[in-house]
């Protein structure tokens, strides 16, 4: 029986231990991936230390991987003749990035990212468009893309190319090619706010929000963002029209004043990281400003878990961002997020991996130290080999 090395979680709060595991065979609609790089996320650290989402031990966790397709199961598209647009998988040839599915498999260890071989539903995988994207860059993409795109869906924001006159309340107002906000007199036009925009999911939130802004049928005229002073220029380069220092004690007033100066309202916010309260305060400032009906209810899509004691603000709905619990719906979501949106935008250069990588070590044995580092600072990656 074929075997491979894995970083195994044995008990809540214990560091991972390296163990040999039997290599599984892919089932229907599954890929077996030879993992080349894993990206570490804060959720990985909470799962290791607090047992978050883990029903039984031992297990293998982790979300973000890149690697080579080794085997495919039944009903996986394997050639361009299959009726799956842009996605086909050739064993030993196809390079992918993928969102590992252990969370939806009750933490079945065969589906965890932190090992040399991992099973993944093909809908969770991105075919890498060319060799210019490294294994490490590719591994940072799945979670970073899924979270903001899931937030737009959860808040009811039409996908690029899917907005219609019936689904938006305004005559669209765009941004000029220089990226400057274009002032307008239509008080229904919106700025889309990204809070915590220098994080991994935050930077992809800015890039995806920029594409929403550029959609001719979009209600959004501008992208606003909050970030630390050291990262403001970088966040602006990704597509934010205005970037505000979240440490400024008057940041809420500064954002509200800027929007009114630009002739905009703010009704949608993506909380990538940070505190919920300032996002609520910004949206609260615009409650009653030219709102018409329930479809104008202010909404926050939150990547962090919403604290049980979080204050509720009348007229502001906070939604914890998660893919659908229904398997069919989830697979369809991932197929769009990974196989359509991400693949097409990487190929045509309209988005790029972000932010700058920090590789913390080689080998699965580096994951524990990498998570310790991550929980104190920026996102990290490890290379299994």
pLDDT at 79: 79
DSSP H helices in the chain? 42-50, 135-139, 141-154, 200-214, 232-237, 251-261, 276-284, 327-334, 343-347, 367-374
pLDDT at 130: 76
Q: What is the pLDDT of residues 298-339, one digit of tens each?
A: 999 999 999 999 999 999 999 999 999 999 999 999 999 999
pLDDT at 164: 60
Residue 275 has a CB neighbour count (10 Å cut-off) of: 14
Instruction: With cut-offs at 50, 70 and 90, classify the pLDDT of residue 168.
Output: very low
pLDDT at 313: 93
The reply to whether the predicted model has a pTM over 0.85 is yes
pLDDT at 304: 94
User: For the ranges 158-167, 173-182, 252-261, 307-316, which has the lowest average pLDDT?
Assistant: 173-182
| pLDDT at residue 185 tops 90 | no
Residue 355 has a CB neighbour count (10 Å cut-off) of: 20
| pLDDT at residue 84 tops 80 | no
pLDDT at 159: 95
pLDDT at 163: 72
Instruction: With cut-offs at 50, 70 and 90, classify the pLDDT of residue 169.
Output: very low
Q: Which residue has the higher pLDDT, 378 or 117?
A: 117
User: For the ranges 70-79, 81-90, 129-138, 328-337, which has the lowest average pLDDT?
Assistant: 81-90
β-pair type (17-22, 64-72): unpaired
Element (H, E) at 126: strand 125-127
pLDDT at 288: 79
Mean pLDDT of 101-119: 97
Mean pLDDT of 55-61: 98
Assess contact for 312 and 319: CB atoms under 8 A.
no
Q: How far apart are CA 188 and CA 118, in angstroms?
A: 47
Give percent of the chain above pLDDT 70. Answer: 87
Closest CA to 191 of 244, 296, 263: 263
| pLDDT at residue 24 tops 80 | yes
Question: In a 10 Å sphere around its CB, with 0-12 CB exposed, 13-18 middle and 19+ buried, how is residue 132 labelled?
Answer: exposed
Q: How far apart are CA 276 and CA 299, in angstroms?
A: 12
Show the tokens assigned to 354: 């972000």
User: How many CA atoms lie less than 13 Å away from 292 in the CB half-sphere?
Assistant: 7
Q: What are phi and psi of 331, to 5 degrees?
A: -65, -35
Closest CA to 220 of 266, 161, 177: 266
Q: What is the pLDDT of residues 118-160, one digit of tens each?
A: 999 999 999 998 778 999 999 999 999 999 999 999 999 999 9
| pLDDT at residue 31 tops 80 | yes
Question: In a 10 Å sphere around its CB, with 0-12 CB exposed, 13-18 middle and 19+ buried, how is residue 83 labelled?
Answer: exposed
Q: Which residues pair with 38 in a beta bridge?
A: 65, 382
pLDDT at 165: 38
């Amino acid at each position: 029986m074929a075997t491979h090395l894995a970083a195994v979680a044995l008990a809540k709060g214990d560091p991972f231990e390296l163990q040999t595991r039997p290599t599984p065979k892919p089932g229907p609609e599954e890929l077996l991936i030879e993992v080349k790089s894993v990206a570490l996320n804060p959720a990985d650290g909470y799962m290791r230390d607090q047992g978050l989402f883990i029903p039984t031990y031992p297990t293998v966790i982790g979300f973000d991987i890149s690697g080579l397709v080794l085997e495919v199961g039944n009903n996986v598209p394997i050639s361009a003749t299959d009726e799956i647009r842009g996605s086909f998988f050739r064993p030993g040839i196809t390079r992918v990035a993928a969102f590992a599915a252990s969370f939806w498999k009750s933490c079945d260890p065969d589906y965890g990212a932190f090992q040399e071989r991992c099973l993944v539903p093909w809908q969770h995988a991105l075919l890498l468009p060319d060799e210019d994207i490294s294994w490490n860059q590719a591994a940072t993409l799945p979670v970073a893309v899924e979270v903001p795109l899931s937030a737009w869906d959860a808040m009811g924001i039409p996908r690029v190319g899917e907005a219609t006159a019936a689904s938006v309340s305004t005559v669209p107002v765009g941004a000029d090619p220089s990226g400057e906000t274009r002032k307008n007199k239509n008080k229904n036009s919106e700025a889309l706010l990204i809070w915590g925009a220098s994080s991994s999911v935050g930077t992809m939130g800015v890039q995806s929000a920029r594409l929403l802004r550029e959609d001719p049928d979009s209600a959004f005229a501008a992208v606003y963002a909050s970030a630390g002073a050291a990262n403001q220029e970088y966040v602006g380069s990704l597509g934010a029209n205005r970037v505000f220092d979240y440490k400024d004690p008057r940041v809420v007033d500064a954002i509200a004043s800027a929007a009114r100066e630009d002739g905009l309202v703010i009704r949608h916010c993506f909380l990538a990281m940070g505190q919920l309260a300032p996002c609520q305060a910004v949206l609260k400032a615009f409650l009653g400003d030219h709102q018409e009906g329930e479809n104008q209810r202010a909404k926050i899509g939150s990547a962090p878990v919403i604290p049980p004691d979080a204050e509720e603000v009348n007229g502001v709905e906070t939604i914890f961002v998660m893919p659908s619990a229904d398997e069919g719906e989830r697979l369809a979501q991932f197929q769009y997020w990974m196989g359509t949106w991400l693949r097409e935008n990487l190929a045509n250069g309209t988005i790029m991996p972000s932010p700058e990588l920090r590789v913390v070590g080689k080998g699965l044995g580096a994951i524990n130290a990498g998570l310790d580092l991550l929980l104190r600072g920026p996102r990290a990656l490890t290379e299994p080999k």
